[in-house]
Structure 1
Amino acid sequence: MGTSDDFDAFYAATSARVLHQVYAVCGDLGEAQDVVQEAYARAWTRWSSLSSYDSPEAWVRTVAWRLAANRWRSVRRWLTARARLGPPPEAPEPSPDRVAVLAALRRLPESQRRVVVLHYLSDLPISEIAETTGMPAGTVKVYLSRARTALAPLLAADDERKDSDVSTHP
């Protein structure tokens, strides 16, 4: 039965070779790295039986090639569908207000930004935000209050800039 040390040694001895082989087949290094990583992750979960195979490397290589082939089939299906349906509709550019709100949100600490987004953009009540984030409800309320206090001058400054732009451009 293979041990984790055995798997580590197997990985160290074979991973570069398998990566090069899969890269040569699929022609995309990032894709090859992804599928080889997935193949070795699958090998790890089966290592107790896979370690007794004559060539565990062949198993990993086969799994990686199949994963790459499945991805190519998915891409081909997507391209066929896109050709049939046409390109997706153009997404409108974000409004200046949306850009200003996102810029202001980025200036908040991550924990405050998270509760503001959950409360105001996802319409979640305080209790659900507390449950989702693992924070006490009182902490959620404090973060919302602090975030509103921090956002007010940032958004007011943006409104003042817009007003001055309108007044200087007839």
Structure 2
Amino acid sequence: MGDAATTSLGVDTVMAGRVERVGADEEFRTLFTDSFAAVARTVHLIVGDRAVAEEITQDAFVKLLGHWRTVSRYERPDLWVRRVAIRAAQRERHRTWRRGQLERSVAPRSWVEDPDGPDDQVRAAVETLAPKQRAVVVLFYFEDRPMAEIADLVGCSVSAGWSQLHTARKRLARLLAEEVDDDVR
């Protein structure tokens, strides 16, 4: 049940066992196996904490299982579970951001190891963005998703998505320019 990508994220047979115990059909099991790691990576990029990302992703799949009779008839049930997970990640990120825990964090937040992923300066800059801006940046640049899909996933209009991306890019440009200037001196 757990493929290498899923188990490398720290998800053991517990969630896979839950899926088996409730008697999920083969289509659900396949969707779970094929999508869990990718959804967890996206959520991790948004919340910045692996354990929280895995918990949010598991919760999204549990919700999917509860709605499976309806969602299984959708053209893309994978987008339903991704949307649920991303919105939960945004809520979690917003709570963390509002409490100021991001700045007071003792240990730096690690991202999923990805050789093609962003470098440390970009990661640090993206982590300072507001939750919705961060989600839009992650989905647009790291997942290469079209803005119409991003808007649907984060719960805004397409024009609001472009506005969030524009504002985020301006902030990132300013932050990254400062870091480059500091490195040059």
- The answer, yes or no, to whether TM exceeds 0.5 is no
TM-score, normalised to structure 1, is 0.42
TM-score, normalised to structure 2, is 0.39
**Which protein, 1 or 2, shows the higher relative CO under an 8 Å CA cutoff with sep ≥ 6?**
2
Structure number having the greater helix percentage? 1
| Structure whose CA Rg is larger | 1
